[in-house]
């Protein structure tokens, strides 16, 4: 890390297995796992504004990492970003000559023009306390979960998603223009075709992914809750249940026709995968409305661990599992269970603010202490 959040300059090696990071509040634990996730997904889970990642007072910042699988080099990734303009003005430090754009991504030493080239090269899955929003938040949070996870599984999905968003934007713009009689149904047709075709594939991928995650998450949640609760997931969409992408495309087209009056009136596309939902139930009741705080936390953790297990299964190689500050809320038995799952991955990074007894007793490979943006191995 270089000028990344609270870190000025930190270099270190992480062995395979469970790596534990212990440090007080505000010492840099979340920033560390964030730096790894930025390499895996090119984006921060905490902010949409990359410049916020740059250490206060610095003109630029970077996270770089070399990833290995079974000891073989897998990928070397570097993400450099420019800091806020006012920081650049106030500082004498020049930008590195290569950083001519707000963000520069390198894969194996070559600059990447598209995130498609990087996402999925070195996959990682993060669970943090913010993931409670997966259960408590609106459908958008759960669509984001699906998008991030499936994009890392297959680059084609991310490509489809970008195309879908483009078609949706164009289509909505035309619907608005049609209200003012500045465009016709004929202008709309090509965008409808793209939306339908790509949307059908996205929907197929989502439904399959949810089925796979459900299988893992149900088992995990049962174990974590001492077999007393049953977690279930359901894909809710106008395209749900379609047999293949062709049938889904036909369903989508039909739904658009059915809602045409409404979309013409409102000037936006009112049906489609951009309105999809993943319903999460505990013991048959919607977890968002009815689950207790503890049940919601267990459900979110089960979902994230399941995502990582599905990724491991489908890709045949293990994602890096990042568990940020998730053990202190659990009783010792549940915490031990989470650690046992973490040990199934080739590498896991686990942070904690307290020095939990359970962590001390765990089968970890390395133990680090973090203080004020410094990381020391014990």
Instruction: Choose the binding region for ligand ATP from 51-59, 143-151, 152-160, 194-202 (rule: CB under 6 A).
Output: 51-59
Rounded to a whole number of angstroms, the minimum distance from the CB of residue 7 to ligand ATP is 8
Among 13, 25, 97, 284, contact with ligand ATP (rule: CB under 6 A)? 25
Chain residues 297-356 in contact with ligand ATP, contact rule CB under 6 A: 325, 353
Pairing between strand 124-127 and 320-324? parallel
CB of 224 to ligand ATP, least distance (A): 22
What's the full length of the chain, in residues? 378
Tell me: does residue 123 bind ligand ATP (CB under 6 A).
no
Q: Counting beta carbons within 10 angstroms of the beta carbon of residue 343, is it exposed (0 to 12), middle (13 to 18) or buried (19 or more)?
A: middle
Q: Which residues of 205-243 are buried (b: 16+ CB within 10 A; e: fewer)?
A: bbbebbebbbebbbebbebbbeeebebbbebebbbbebe
Q: Which stretch binds ligand ATP (CB under 6 A): 50-58, 104-112, 326-334, 358-366?
A: 50-58
Cβ-based nearer residue to ligand ATP, 61 or 272: 61
Q: How far is the CB of 12 from ligand ATP (least distance, A)?
A: 16
**Can residue 2 be called a binding residue for ligand ATP (CB under 6 A)?**
no
Select 102 or 185, whichever has its Cβ closest to ligand ATP: 102
Minimum distance from CB of 23 to ligand ATP (Å)? 6
Residue from 20, 22, 55, 105 that binds ligand ATP (CB under 6 A)?
55
Q: Min. distance of Cβ 59 from ligand ATP in angstroms? A: 12
Taking CB under 6 A as the criterion, the residue among 9, 49, 56, 102 binding ligand ATP is 56
Which positions from 18 to 57 touch Mg ion by CB under 5 A, shown as an x/- string? Answer: -----------xx---------------------------
Binding ligand ATP (rule: CB under 6 A), the pick from 10, 16, 17, 52 is: 52
Nearest approach in angstroms of CB 105 to ligand ATP is 19
- Residues 221-250: x where in contact with ligand ATP by CB under 6 A, - otherwise, as a string: ------------------------------
Q: Rounded to the nearest 5 degrees, what angle is found at the Cα of 272, between the Cα atoms of 267 and 276?
A: 120
Contact track, Mg ion, 228-267, x by CB under 5 A: ----------------------------------------
Chain residues 197-226 in contact with ligand ATP, contact rule CB under 6 A: none
- Give how many residues touch ligand ATP by CB under 6 A: 16
Whole-number Å distance between alpha carbons of 114 and 215: 33
Q: What is the nearest approach in angstroms of ligand ATP to the Cβ of residue 358?
A: 18
- Rounded CA separation 130/150 (Å): 20
Name the residue nearer to ligand ATP (CB basis): 25 or 100: 25
Q: What does the alpha-carbon distance between residue 120 and residue 136 come to, in Å, rounded to a whole number?
A: 28
Q: Between 17 and 84, whose beta carbon lies closer to ligand ATP?
A: 84
Verify binding: residue 28, ligand ATP, rule CB under 6 A: yes
Quick check: 26 binds ligand ATP (CB under 6 A)?
Answer: yes
Q: In the numeric block, which tokens belong to residue 335?
A: 């915490």
Alpha carbons 341 and 18: distance in angstroms, whole number: 11
Please give the residue ranges that form the binding site for ligand ATP (CB under 6 A).
5-6, 23, 25-31, 52, 54-56, 325, 353
């Amino acid at each position: 890390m270089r000028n990344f959040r609270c870190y000025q300059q930190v270099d270190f090696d992480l062995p395979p297995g469970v790596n534990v990071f212990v440090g007080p509040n505000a010492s840099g634990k979340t920033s560390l796992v964030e730096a790894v996730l930025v390499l895996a997904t090119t984006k921060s889970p905490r902010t949409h504004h990359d410049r916020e990642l740059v250490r206060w007072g610095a003109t630029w910042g970077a996270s770089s990492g070399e990833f290995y699988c079974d000891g073989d080099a897998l990928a070397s990734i570097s993400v450099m970003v420019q800091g806020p303009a006012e920081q650049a003005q106030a500082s004498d430090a020049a930008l590195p000559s290569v950083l001519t754009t707000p963000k520069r991504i390198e894969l194996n030493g070559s600059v990447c023009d598209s995130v498609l080239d990087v996402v999925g090269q070195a996959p990682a899955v993060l669970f943090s306390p913010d993931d409670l929003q997966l259960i408590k938040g609106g459908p958008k949070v759960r669509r984001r979960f699906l998008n991030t996870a499936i994009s890392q599984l297959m680059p084609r999905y991310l490509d489809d998603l970008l195309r879908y968003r483009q078609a949706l934007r164009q289509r909505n713009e035309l619907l608005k223009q049609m209200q003012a009689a500045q465009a016709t149904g004929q202008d709309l047709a090509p965008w409808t075709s793209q939306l339908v075709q790509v949307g059908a594939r996205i929907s197929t991928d989502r439904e399959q992914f949810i089925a796979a995650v459900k299988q893992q998450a149900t088992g995990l949640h049962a174990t974590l809750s001492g077999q007393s609760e049953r977690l279930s997931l359901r894909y809710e969409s106008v395209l749900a249940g379609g047999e293949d992408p062709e049938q889904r495309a036909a369903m989508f087209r039909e739904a658009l026709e059915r809602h045409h009056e409404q979309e013409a009136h409102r000037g936006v596309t009112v049906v489609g995968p951009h309105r999809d939902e993943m319903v999460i139930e505990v013991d048959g009741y919607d977890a968002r409305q009815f689950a207790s705080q503890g049940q919601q936390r267990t459900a979110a953790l089960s979902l994230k661990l399941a995502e990582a297990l599905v990724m491991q299964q489908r890709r045949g190689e293990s994602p890096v599992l990042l568990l940020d500050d998730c053990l202190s809320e659990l009783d010792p038995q549940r915490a031990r269970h989470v650690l046992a799952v973490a040990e199934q991955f080739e590498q896991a990074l686990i942070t904690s603010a307290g020095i939990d007894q359970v962590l001390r007793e765990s089968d970890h490979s390395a133990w680090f202490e973090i203080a004020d943006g410094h990381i020391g191995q014990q």
